[in-house]
Amino acid sequence: MKIVVLDGYTMNPGDMDWDLLRQLGPCDIHDRTAAGQVVERSGEAQILLTNKTPITADSIAQLPALRYIGVLATGYNIVDTAAAAERGIIVSNIPGYSTASVAQMVFALLLEMTQQVGHHDRLVREGRWTACEDFSLCDRPLMELAGKTFGIVGCGQIGRQVAQIAKAFGMQALISTATPDKHRDWAQQHQVKLVERQTLFSRSDVVSLHCPLTPDTEKLIDAVRLETMKPGAILINTGRGQLIDEAAVATALASGQLGGFGADVLSAEPPAADNPLLGAPNSFITPHIAWASREARKRQYAMTMENIRAFIAGSPQNQVN
């Protein structure tokens, strides 16, 4: 089968090879593909792999050989799954490959805000500690996590992992989920409290977002919601940029209502230079890399191969349409 990879660079920037994929059939592997190049590059493809390059209904209609679309990620909103289903085209995704890495990034952002590691490292390199009269130099407040309350919106694999890490820090973990009955046994087993959304925001010292982007959760964090949070609370978003109202979060940081904001995602990626969060105080942003550890990418590649082999064998897995 002819295989086309539209944007393979993010999964494999050169530290892995594509030999396993090439063993399945002739391959065209592109680092990146512009929207206008999709049909031209995919015309003979029976198997099409994409990470963030959109596969629209119009493109699908112009690809008569296409039988399978593999999304090289967990989120699959870049594919018109309904149009694919109408054509009998299987669409699969890769769930769970980056759970450990994303959870780790949550706490990397949190520890940067509570310990101010980067800031104090700069002071040392600037000679401030060398010139200090005392053995210790600390010019920003530090926060101990033990005894604090960590609120998690969403109870998927990443939300659960984050809850368990928070408990290892001695924090109380709260989770708000749209399907509490589904998760009640797990929560009881792991001593995590399931609470209503408003309770979570009012009680938490730290809130981390791990819910899917839906009409109900779009701009879940707006000016009204921010006012219900504890003054000085910390907000972390490694889910989707559209979960927050970026201007409202920047305003809350400037006023001190929000003590810190850490994010690995923004509403537009790459962001515009005038994104209000880029200049907001106590705002710490990484460029959508939480998923990108080499270990996670190796799992991503392995699961991609498993999905394709399952499709070829006539038993597709991780099908989303």
Residue 85's alpha-carbon distances to 88, 300, 305, in angstroms, are 5, 24, 22
Q: How many domains does the chain have?
A: 2
Shared domain check, 77 and 132: no
Considering the domain architecture, whether residues 80 and 196 belong to the same structural domain is answered as no
Nearest to 11 by CA among 309, 300, 240: 300
With a pLDDT cut of 90, the percent of the chain lying above it is 98
Q: How confident is the model at residue 6 (pLDDT cuts 50, 70, 90)?
A: very high
Give the model's pLDDT for residue 211: 94
Between CA 278 and CA 250 the distance in angstroms is 9
Based on the fold, state whether residues 22 and 120 are members of the same structural domain. Answer: no
Q: Same domain, yes or no, for 185 and 132?
A: yes
Residue 319 in domain: no
Mark whether 110 and 163 lie in a shared domain: yes
Q: How many CB atoms lie within 10 A of CB 107?
A: 19
Same domain as 243, residue 147: yes
Shared-domain flag, residues 104 and 172: yes
Residues 257 and 299 in one domain: no
The whole-angstrom separation of Cα 34 and Cα 313 is 31
pLDDT score for 121:
97
Are residues 59 and 136 part of one domain?
no
Q: Which of 86, 144, 269, 295 is catalytic?
A: 269
294 classed as catalytic: no
Strands 233-237 and 90-92: unpaired
- CATH number for the domain spanning 174: value is 3.40.50.720
Note whether 220 and 267 are same-domain residues. Answer: yes
Query: Span 115-141, mean pLDDT?
Result: 96
Does residue 271 belong to any structural domain of this protein? yes
Residue 75 has pLDDT above 90, yes or no: no
Annotated catalytic residue within 67, 197, 288, 306: 288
In a domain, 320, yes or no: no
Residue 220 lies in a domain: yes
d(CA 247, CA 110): 21
Q: Is residue 58 part of a domain?
A: yes
Please report which confidence band the pLDDT of residue 253 belongs to, taking 50, 70 and 90 as the band edges. Answer: very high
Same domain as 205, residue 66: no
pLDDT band at residue 31 using 50, 70 and 90 as cut-offs:
very high
* Structure tokens that stand for 50 in this block: 């994409």
Yes or no: say if 63 and 80 are a contact pair by the CB < 8 Å rule. Answer: no
Same-domain pairing of 127 and 41: no
Arithmetic mean of pLDDT over the chain: 97
pLDDT digits (tens, 9 = 90+) for 187-197: 999 999 999 99
Q: Note if 240 is an active site residue.
A: yes
For range 36-65, the mean pLDDT: 97
Does residue 56 belong to any structural domain of this protein?
yes
Q: Find the length of the chain.
A: 321
Residue 81 lies in a domain: yes
Residue 226: which domain range? 99-285
Burial of 277 (0-12, 13-18, 19+ CB in 10 A): buried
217, part of any domain: yes
**Per-residue pLDDT tens over the stretch 307-317:** 999 999 999 99
- What pLDDT sits at residue 51? 96
Secondary structure in 3-state letters for the chain: CCEEECCCCCCCCCCCCCHHHHCCCCEEECCCCCHHHHHHHHCCCCEEEECCCCECHHHHHCCCCCCEEEECCCCCCCECHHHHHHCCCEEECCCCCCHHHHHHHHHHHHHHHHHCHHHHHHHHHCCCCCCCCCCCCCCCCCCCCCCCEEEEECCCHHHHHHHHHHHHCCCEEEEECCCHHHHHHHHHHCCCEECCHHHHHHHCCEEEECCCCCCCCCCCECHHHHHHCCCCEEEEECCCHHHECHHHHHHHHHHCCEEEEEECCCCCCCCCCCCHHHCCCCEEECCCCCCCCHHHHHHHHHHHHHHHHHHHCCCCCCECC
Q: Of 160, 183, 240, 299, which one is the catalytic site residue?
A: 240
pLDDT at 182: 96
